[in-house]
Structure 1
């Protein structure tokens, strides 16, 4: 197996297992078994579990940013683009494998003791805020609205995971609509 294929299989397996059960509950041998990559190759690519966690988070961060951008791309109206962020969340929360935000979950597990994980989680949340700031600016609305919308989005992520329901996305969208109407 070539290194790129092994890396992709390891990241796929680790991401799925971390999502299902959390980082601390998953051992390297289980990742090796799920991935089909030899233990020797696994440790050659990721000499420590922390490096694998960081790689999973980096890859997930890029994927989420790209996925959200693709979701918003066909929408022209600036206000509709803002509300579509919450439609994106609703779609995500309805996926069979949704267990909450990888970054919130991993930060909760490891962020206090792993600065790299904390930095990646913060960068992901900063990217969401940056996206919302761009959308708010394009709509000609006051900048502080983006921070409020980010709180709604992140709160919906945490609440949906705990409740096991996609409903918080709709509720956050309704609250965002109220904020948008008030900001006019």
Structure 2
């Protein structure tokens, strides 16, 4: 969520502007455009962030926290593991209906950067692992024999559904939910 620009620090304004521009247009967006959107001089930007790479990583961290919070049910959610997993795909489906939906910010960033050791790629990988870990935790709670395999499959469904929505420029219309449900059923993940 963007900070109130009247009280936000230059750092917060830069992170907000970078997060939005990098998600909507890609991390190739120049520092000049980010600084202009943030209302911060380029000199000030480099006083706050040592490089554009650092800005990419930190802005993706901020976006990542918000993105996962919007998808993953709270720890107090008492639904079954299957329902909790499907909740994430239902939220993805809802997000795909937004005009500004550009898919998964982690996959987008890592794909555009193409360097596994880039600070942005490292952040993207860590957040994708958090999603996979969520699926694995739910699979363990459901008593699945190989929770790591199921978690990987569900992550692939999520990423594939995101890509489909972006490539087709259409909302998912339940496709991701249906595919995740089929994978869960094949794994014998039934409600407890």
TM-score interval w.r.t. the shorter chain?
0.7 to 0.9
Structure 2 unmatched ranges of 5 or more:
none
Structure 2 match to 1:77? 80
Structure 1 match to 2:171? 166
Structure 1 match to 2:14? 10
Distance change (3 Å), C-alpha of 1:72 and 1:167:
farther
Structure 1 match to 2:95? 92
Q: Distance in 2 between matches of 1:42 and 1:118?
A: 21
Matching of residues 19-34 of structure 1 within 5 Å: 19-24=23-28, 26-34=29-37
The equivalent position to 2:154 in structure 1, one of 149, 166, 172, is 149
Q: Distance in 1 between matches of 2:76 and 2:51?
A: 38
Matched, 1:35 2:38: yes
Deviation at residue 51 of structure 1 after TM alignment: 1.0
- What's the CA shift string for 1:68-118, capped at 9, x where partnerless? 334675451222112111101112212221112111111111132753222
When you count helix as a share of all residues, which structure comes out higher? 1
Deviation at residue 27 of structure 1 after TM alignment: 1.4
- What's the CA shift string for 1:120-149, capped at 9, x where partnerless? 121111111000011111222231222211
Q: Distance in 2 between matches of 1:11 and 1:86?
A: 27
Matching of residues 94-173 of structure 1 within 5 Å: 94-112=97-115, 114-142=117-145, 143=147, 144-167=149-172, 170-173=174-177
Answer whether contact 2:17 2:34 (CA < 8 A) is retained. yes
Q: Distance in 2 between matches of 1:117 and 1:40?
A: 22
Answer whether contact 2:73 2:84 (CA < 8 A) is retained. no
User: Number of aligned pairs?
Assistant: 182
Q: Distance in 2 between matches of 1:16 and 1:156?
A: 21
Q: Distance in 2 between matches of 1:73 and 1:90?
A: 22
Q: What is the RMSD of the two structures over their aligned residues, measured on CA atoms? A: 2.3
Q: What TM-score do you get using the length of structure 2 for normalisation?
A: 0.84
